[in-house]
Copies of this chain bind each other. A is one copy, B any other.
Amino acid sequence: MKTAFPGEFEQMVLLSILQLGDDGFALSVLRELDRRAGRRVSRGALYKTLERLEEKGLVEWEVEQATPDRGGHPRRRFSVTHEGITALQASRDALFQLWQGLEGVLGKPSS
């Protein structure tokens, strides 16, 4: 069992894709990361990460079917695989365990 833990940024990318639902296009992910987490990275950085996530089987994608008006390369719609979900749950649970009881030190999450 290969337990390669997703990195910090990889997790964020996975979560962004989930948030976007059927709008999981690369540039949407970029905007979502900025909106939610205030994280701004270049497109190249994101594509590289998506490529690695795919190699690990945590995301998959399909080419958007028939969009006759838009120019540029055909865009890809990313989605998180079942394995990706599992990995996210594991990471989250680990963090929760480590956060337990530290509210006094860290304060409440600023929602």
Interface of A is mostly: helix
A93 to B107, CA, bound (A): 11
Question: Which range holds the interface residue count of chain A?
Answer: 35 or more
A13 to chain B: closest residue by CB: B98
Which of A36-44, A55-63, A64-72 participates in binding chain B? A36-44
Question: Taking A5-B8, A8-B5, A8-B91 as contacts, is the C-beta distance between A85 and B98 under 8 angstroms?
Answer: no
Contact among B36, B92, B95 for A106, CB-based, below 8 A: B92
List which A8-50 residues lie within 8 A (CB) of chain B.
8-9, 11-12, 15-16, 18-19, 36-39
Q: How distant is A97 from chain B, measured CB to nearest CB, in Å?
A: 4
